[in-house]
Amino acid sequence: MLFLAGCQGMSQQTAEQDVSSPDTAKVTEHPASTQSISLEPIRGAQSGRLIEPVTLPPADLWQRLRMQLEWHSIDNPQVAAARDHILQQPTYLDVIAARSELYLHYIVSEVEARGMPAEIALLPLVESTMDPFANSPRHAAGLWQIMPATGRHLGLTSNWWYDGRRDLRDSTRVALDYLEALHAGFDGDWLLALAAYNSGKGRVSRAIKYNRKRGKPTDYWSLNLPRETREYVPKLVALTSIIATPELYAATLPPVANAPSFAIASTGGQIEVSRAAQLAGVDEGLLRALNPGQLRWATAPKQPQELLLPLSALDRFEAGVAGLTDADRVRWRHYRIRRGDNLGSIARKFGTEVAMLKDVNKIRGSFIRAGDTLLIPQNSSWAASLALESGGLPKTRDYQVRRGDSLYGIAARFNVSIADIVSWNSLDPGAYLQPGQQLTLYLGSGG
């Protein structure tokens, strides 16, 4: 859960920079550079035959990127200020390196496959400090900080069970699609495309039109854009320069393995996340970090039934899944609504959540009709595990969040875990508690 807490928004530079004429106004698309180190051909000592060069991929992912990065040649006062701001944060490079271990290799590979500049792979470091659980005050979410409306426009699924904006593969796919479209729309100028990614295509287009009417340059550095956008591109360029030449700035980047960090495993059907973690032999926190789009206690029923797992856990997980019976999976029962029932009473009766009942049964509002049928999950790992531990049914307690409360404080007060509170109440791990919010706590027989 410490991993899940992470950074909850984008870090912003504090000083507004002068928008002066650029040293470099436009960055053009280029093919990806080689990703390996080639040794020169040599001749055998005795035979004299030419020996083919040995090709070794770099062990460090940062080195793989350095062989392709080009934007670090852009240097002006805005970039210098952004670079100083990054270097003044003593733990920043350590944090982004640690988080990059799970996600960056995949993102780099996807960017290279499209022939996009390698710098684009670093954008999640600027957007979210590579935290898939990050939320912005404007409700952007995930590694790429995609807004709800943008996600819908790009075809991402977002519902009670699943948020594609947080999923590594789905969010990366649509973010790169969107950036490619913006790149084409701004005549191959990547800096303008990035500005539009941050503040919207319309805003950047209007700024270009304004300058054009007045005979002014229309490159990124010359436009009158919102402060956040004026700081956004310089921060990416500054980060590029640090990664490209860390020795120049006395910076140390912890190495990140240049190797895949996960495998894709079929679950064979809907499965509880805690059971999947047990089958794989991994910590549930790690499993959720690899699958941040899965919001609830079980995998989303209408999404592809697969999970990302550490490579070392794949064989064990597949063997475990092969041995599951129907009783081991999430099972659903049909409940006929009786006179006097309401969603709250039904949810309490079956140990589930009103929001889940509404989502699964496509109910808008709170109205239900006697005689209609609801789909309800028959088992839930958190309720079952507590019942086993306590020797009976868990006791419940309703708790109203007060000003100043935190998940940590509530968990300590009632001797439960933060993970349990999140699971019991279907909370977004990256969202803040709100005063007046109702929580349900399962305290066991000794609570």
Say which residues have a Cβ less than 8 Å from residue 108's Cβ, sequence separation at least 6.
61, 64, 65, 118, 121
State whether residue 272 is helix, strand or coil.
strand
H or E element, residue 332: strand 332-336
Mean pLDDT of the 135-150 span: 91
H or E element, residue 413: helix 407-414
Fold of the CATH domain 382-447: Membrane-bound Lytic Murein Transglycosylase D; Chain A (3.10.350)
- Average pLDDT value over all residues in the chain: 82
| Catalytic status, residue 127 | yes
Domains 332-378 and 382-447 in one fold = yes
State whether residue 155 is helix, strand or coil.
coil
What is the pLDDT confidence band of residue 39, given thresholds at 50, 70 and 90? very low
CA 121 – CA 256 distance, rounded (Å): 14
pLDDT reported for residue 35: 43
pLDDT digits (tens, 9 = 90+) for 53-75: 667 889 999 999 999 999 988 99
Query: In whole angstroms, how large is the CA radius of gyration of the chain?
Result: 26
Minimal CA–CA distance to 87: which of 191, 227, 241, 254?
A: 241
pLDDT reported for residue 363: 85
> Does residue 99 contact residue 289 with C-beta atoms inside 8 Å?
no
Q: Please, what's the largest Cα pairwise distance for the chain?
A: 94
Q: Across 90-99, 195-204, 412-421, which has the greatest mean pLDDT?
A: 195-204
Q: Give bridge partners of residue 163 from the DSSP assignment.
A: 158
CA 223 – CA 19 distance, rounded (Å): 8
| Alpha-carbon distances, residue 238 vs 211, 233, 371 (angstroms) | 26, 9, 63
Judged against a pLDDT cut of 50, whether residue 8 lies above it is answered with: no
State whether residue 355 is helix, strand or coil.
helix
Domain coordinates in residue numbering, the chain: 2-246, 263-328, 332-378, 382-447
Q: Which of 49-58, 79-88, 98-107 has the lowest mean pLDDT?
A: 49-58
Q: Provide the CATH number for the domain formed by 2-246 in this structure.
A: 1.10.530.10
The active-site residue, picked from 112, 119, 127, 353, is 127
Judged against a pLDDT cut of 70, whether residue 18 lies above it is answered with: no
pLDDT reported for residue 242: 97
Mean pLDDT of the 311-324 span: 95
Higher pLDDT, 425 or 15: 425
Higher pLDDT, 411 or 234: 234
Is residue 201 packed enough to be buried (19+ CB in 10 Å), middle (13-18) or exposed (0-12)?
A: middle
DSSP single-letter state for residue 246: G
Minimal CA–CA distance to 396: which of 384, 406, 383?
A: 383
Which pairs count as long-range contacts for 183-192, CB under 8 Å and 24+ apart, including other chains? 183/29, 188/26, 188/28, 188/29, 189/26, 189/27, 189/219, 189/220, 190/26, 190/27, 190/28, 190/29, 190/117, 190/119, 190/120, 191/25, 191/26, 191/27, 191/219, 191/220, 191/221, 191/233, 192/219, 192/220
Mean pLDDT of the 411-417 span: 78
Q: Which of 132-146, 196-210, 323-337 has the lowest mean pLDDT?
A: 323-337
pLDDT digits (tens, 9 = 90+) for 224-248: 999 999 999 999 999 999 999 999 9
Q: Across 98-112, 129-143, 272-286, which has the greatest mean pLDDT?
A: 98-112
Judged against a pLDDT cut of 70, whether residue 398 lies above it is answered with: yes
pLDDT reported for residue 197: 97
For the segment(s) 332-378, the CATH number from 3.30.465.10, 3.10.350.10, 3.30.70.260, 3.40.50.300 is 3.10.350.10
